[in-house]
Structure 1
Amino acid sequence: MDSGETGEQVAVTGIGLVTPGGIGTEATWEAVCTGRSAARTDPALQGLPVSISCRVPPQEKRPGKLWRYDRSTRFLLLAAEEALSSAGLAGRDWDPARVAVVVGTAAGGIDTLETQHQKLLTVGHTALSPMTLPAFLPNMAAGHLALELGITGPSLQTSTACASGATALITACLLLRAGACDIAVAGGTDAMITPLCAAAFAKMGALSRREHDPGHASRPFDKERDGFVLGEGSALLVLERRRHADARGAAPLAVLAGHGSTSDAHHATAPHPQGAGLRAAVEAALADAGAGIGDVDHINAHGTSTPLNDKAEATAIRHLFATRRPPVTSAKGALGHTMGAAGAIEAALTVLTIARGTIPPTANFTAPDETTAGIDIVSGHSRAQPVRLALSHSLGFGGHNTVLALAAA
């Protein structure tokens, strides 16, 4: 595979995951590989039009001042611990000025904002926490992570709705290729299971109404799909210039070989019905990677379980892969839609698929309808298969299309 404009590969050397499937990479991987849905009835959403969600399991009480942070930032800090440990950087053996932080989020500290606004309305201004602004401002997840890790290189936050985590990885890749850093800690985080977000998504008709059967509510590409289940979580990847990773003896899990980003310019919330923008993003990612359609062994789809997204994405896949059918999976059947974290979580799962030669199933997929037929959906059980090159799709409100091309190291 090609390695972008500078000719140097960008290696993935570490992964950290905090998802509804569990705390840590192995817990999440086991959840998606067994097709175990995390969806449950959520008491915090009681009385709203939809009261099911996919929440991150409770964490052990930890020393320190986690109370200062929004729930999304707590997830991020947990993911960072694992990512650095898996990359062999727990001892921080780096030049902090040559390390970047890039974090994607759709809503920043929305949980903090809603909670503090409620206090303002019901009790008054004296009840507000002095940490309100540092907790909810959209740049502060990256800021807090840089503070926690002592990183003095670039610290950036990206927001492209549900493509935010993938956009963060692209931004980090660009920084590495430009020589602005040697290491980037990049990914996404969101904690949007709040009354306002849940009610707003329900008002749009985006959420599954299968409240009588939460475990089967999220059904990507399935003929019975009726919307997504709101989730939360975080994923961080440690990206490095390949020469830097080699010099310190790090074994890459995979390579971020290419990427593509486009805009639909079609509708505020609905994807282009033929997936035109997604097709263009796939073609750009493959061109950046020096690869072609025939090189793709697997697609980790955005696969939200909504009628419009899955139809548009399936249409794009059929159009691009008319003569061959790479296996397709979506993690959202198991984990729900983790919003701005989704692109990073799914990129991490794609790296694991490459490293382990295993494609997880799409939980709850039983059969396609006429709009999703014609693509090879992995279902029922994981599929053992060597994967040299895989694509990870992410789409977002506003017409964002983001595609990562990940390759074996």
Structure 2
Amino acid sequence: MAETAPPSAPIETWITGIGLATSLGEGLDAHWEAFSHRRVNADEKSFAPYVVHPLAPINFDAQIPKRGDQRQMEAWQRIGTYAAGLALDSAGVKGNTDILSRMDMIVAAGGGERDLVVDAGVLNAETKGNAAPGHLNERLMSDLRPTLFLAQLSNLLAGNIAIVHGVTGSSRTFMGEEASGVDAVRIALARIAAGQSDIALVGAAHNGERKDLLLLYEFGDFNLKEKYAPVWAREHNSGFALGSGGAFLVIESRAHAEARGAKPFARLTNVVADHARRKHSGDVTSTLESLWSRLGNSTEGTAIVTGATGAEPATSEERAFLRAHPDIPVRATGTMFGHTMEAQFPLGLAVAALSLSRGALFASADTSEQAIDMTRPPARIVVIGTGHWRGEGMALVEAIN
């Protein structure tokens, strides 16, 4: 009887490029400097009573040189295309047509931005009784650009990245709020680990400065109102402060990176996801414990970067999980960046990999009991993503010595 060959070990996967454009600035040095000063950019006035974290000033020409390309994109696409360009630059593959032509692209995206002027015109006509039969169809056909169908198509971000930066390998766009960011990274890692891909661009973007989104989330009572507070200080005023930002990563097999002489930021070892039923108190906590056990993680030299939203009851249940691991330093990206929805998990991975590459856990912007100072370089960082409504995920990112 012939022996069955043992399954091959997963291919080691490195993070070799990071692109960040957020409320704290653009690029890695700017973010590290902001972390060191515990800087937070929150706006309580522009969309009062709602708190948002607005995008820092950016010269989009630097990554999207054609003004025509910029004009046909809404803000979320410009942010994402810009952050993707930063990631490609960081990885040293910008303009390398050989690599870009076979690079996978996996994007997490929302439903796109609405045209508020058209929406307001339609609603005003209805309320004033000026809407004749067929009025709505007429307005939609005459007022909306070809790139819009009530809202922009989710895969337009990937399409614009392909046009502007020449990333023309396979392309996938996932939807599903925070969980889509988890799955985008999970699938990218799985393809590389299985030998189905050598290199991938993965990430997301979010424009939190949108009246339509604030209205949408207000229906669920999810918005943080009146005054900014760190994520862990919102028990009596729960909610998330929407943030604007883009986070993209270049991940690739170790062999591919070494062959082109690329230096890694960190090793992406594992990504796991689940979908708690959230029918009973404690469901999220137990799901996070289960994911933690599946990571194959050691607690020594470990830190946690969480995308906790501040919305209840999910945040309290996540905090119960964290309190069961009291000696592990925790950093909450929602405190610093606001909540960037689909981009929150890639954003956590980006700052985790940046920390590992700099040999230090970035400073906390809050004073919670989990915000422990870490005096020695972290060996590994667990990134947690708990959706405000659905979906949980974790990733293990490790230092490369």
Task: Report the TM-score, using the length of structure 1 for normalisation.
Answer: 0.83
Number of residue equivalences: 375
Residue identity in the other structure for 1:80? A
CA contact (8 A) 1:259 1:284 kept: no
Shift of 1:258: 0.8
1:140-289 correspondence to structure 2 within 5 Å: 140-209=156-225, 211=226, 213-214=227-228, 217-220=229-232, 226-267=238-279, 272-273=282-283, 275-286=285-296
Partners in 1 of 2:221 and 2:363 — Cα distance? Answer: 26
Task: Show the counterpart of 2:40.
Answer: 37
Task: Show the counterpart of 1:373.
Answer: none
Task: Show the counterpart of 1:53.
Answer: 52
Partners in 1 of 2:254 and 2:120 — Cα distance? Answer: 48
CA contact (8 A) 1:108 1:141 kept: no
**Structure 1 residue 16 corresponds to structure 2 residue 19:** yes
Q: Deviations over 1:229-258 (max 9, x none)?
A: 111211000001110000100011101011
Query: Residue 257 of structure 1 aligns to a residue in which SS?
Result: strand
Shift of 1:100: 0.3
Distance 1:140 1:178, change over 3 A: farther
Query: Residue 84 of structure 2 aligns to a residue in which SS?
Result: helix
Shift of 1:225: 5.6
Q: 1:89 aligns with which of 88, 93, 106?
A: 93
Q: Deviations over 1:135-172 (max 9, x none)?
A: 81112212221233323321011223123323211111
Q: 1:355 aligns with which of 346, 354, 357?
A: 357
**Structure 1 residue 301 corresponds to structure 2 residue 300:** no
Distance 1:295 1:94, change over 3 A: farther
Distance 1:113 1:137, change over 3 A: farther
Task: Show the counterpart of 1:77.
Answer: 81
Query: Residue 343 of structure 1 aligns to a residue in which SS?
Result: helix
CA contact (8 A) 1:15 1:236 kept: yes
Cα RMSD (Å)? 2.7
Task: Show the counterpart of 2:379.
Answer: 388
Q: 1:341 aligns with which of 336, 340, 343?
A: 343
Task: Report the TM-score, using the length of structure 2 for normalisation.
Answer: 0.85
CA contact (8 A) 2:11 2:195 kept: no
Partners in 2 of 1:239 and 1:154 — Cα distance? Answer: 15
CA contact (8 A) 1:162 1:339 kept: yes
Distance 1:208 1:353, change over 3 A: same
Task: Show the counterpart of 1:132.
Answer: 148
The percent identity for this pair of structures is 25
**Structure 1 residue 404 corresponds to structure 2 residue 398:** no
Query: Structure 1 regions of 5+ residues with no counterpart?
Result: 287-291, 369-375
Partners in 2 of 1:207 and 1:331 — Cα distance? Answer: 17
Shift of 1:20: 0.9
Task: Show the counterpart of 2:331.
Answer: 329
Partners in 2 of 1:150 and 1:225 — Cα distance? Answer: 45
Shift of 1:87: 0.8
The structure with the larger Rg is: 2
Q: Deviations over 1:303-323 (max 9, x none)?
A: 22334233211222334x3xx
CA contact (8 A) 1:12 1:237 kept: yes
Partners in 2 of 1:309 and 1:196 — Cα distance? Answer: 24
CA contact (8 A) 2:266 2:397 kept: yes
Shift of 1:398: 5.0
Task: Show the counterpart of 1:289.
Answer: none
Partners in 2 of 1:139 and 1:35 — Cα distance? Answer: 35
CA contact (8 A) 2:25 2:56 kept: yes
